[in-house]
Amino acid sequence: MNTTAKDLLTTKLPLRFRPDGNFRIMMFSDIHGGRGFAANETHDAIEALIAKANPDLVLIAGDICGPGYIHAETVDDVRFVLDAISEPMERRGIPWAHVFGNHDDNYGVPNAVQQPIYESYPHCVSKAGPDDIDGVGNYFLPVFDADGADVLFGVWGLDSNHSMPEFFEDYGLPADTRYYQASQASSGDYDGPRTSQVFWYWQTSQMLENHLGHKVPSLMYMHIPTPEHALVTIHKNKVNFKGYQLEDVASHTLNSGLFSACVQRGDVKAIFCGHEHENQFSANYMGIMLGYDGFLSYHACHNEDIRGCRLFDISADNPADIQSSILLVRDAQK
């Protein structure tokens, strides 16, 4: 890993706490856009959410394109989706970032080809990340104090990859290799951040601490939930469980140790994801808040009780104490 601390602390646009000492992040996912998607409705929903929430940073947690009869087959299709969903941020000058989901490249436009399209938008602060680890879009975003003197908070974006068949192909395992769920509360055959990404997070976290002289309280986000997201659903009465769980947690099949690494490093205070369209909960486990963002599709599940975004409010006085809430589209549009 040849990345320096200076590289890590450099972003296209500076992220800073407001003069009043606050910083707000808005997060949503699962637009499932492409040819013929509800561009106007989706744009108007994002517009209403931003107007109501007034965020300092917007995170889009994957499955921005595809799958199904609405999907993106070409670069033009991808740009059509991004033009619609980024306009409210671009017009206001609000920095925004993304990670990929398991469906974004299902129809022939690889994530490595999509990444430069995202980064071409003036206010997109996503980064492709190191090319010697798994995934496209692994990065750290520093949030400085109002004066730009010190990093008070951070955002880790991780590519949670695709599925077990693709994992088998990448690592030379037989296609009929058996696998089992990491938790009795999990479902599906999904991949997650892999060992190389966990190592990268650990080493990068240490580098930041050594350079800055302190750990950086952070939010980590990705598309597919961790096995620990499933685990907390078994112990709802013990983990300060709040919100909806209307479907099984489709978490990483293999447990890469990411959550354990975060616990041991002690800087990540929240891990949030998208992926399931009808789960919108948060819980606290081993000092880390786990949960889901807001689902924002108009053709892949139409649940008005879920469609919206998650807000994270961070104070410069105590950036480790992340305050989380949900804002629904129907409430923002009133």
The two counts, helices (H) then strands (E), for the chain are 9, 13
What does the pLDDT read at residue 1?
54
Residue 66: the pLDDT is 85
Which of the 8 DSSP states describes residue 225? P
Q: Positive or negative CA dihedral for 63, 69, 73, 75?
A: negative
Range of the domain at 95: 5-332
Nearest CA-CA partner of 311 in 334, 297, 331:
331
Helices (H), ranges, 138-194: 164-170
Count the domains in the chain: 1
Specify the amino acid at residue 180.
Y
Half-sphere exposure of 36 (CA within 13 A, CB side): 9
Rounded distance, CA 148 to CA 89, Å? 22
- H or E stretch at 28: strand 22-29
Whether 34 contacts 76, CB under 8 Å: no
Alpha carbon separation from 157 to 42, 206, 241 (Å, rounded): 23, 17, 24
Q: CATH code at 187?
A: 3.60.21.10
Per-block average pLDDT, block size 10, for the chain (334 residues)? 81 96 97 93 97 98 90 94 97 98 92 97 97 96 97 98 94 93 80 96 97 97 96 95 92 94 98 93 97 90 85 98 97 95
pTM summary value = 0.96
At 189, phi and psi to the nearest 5? -130, 45
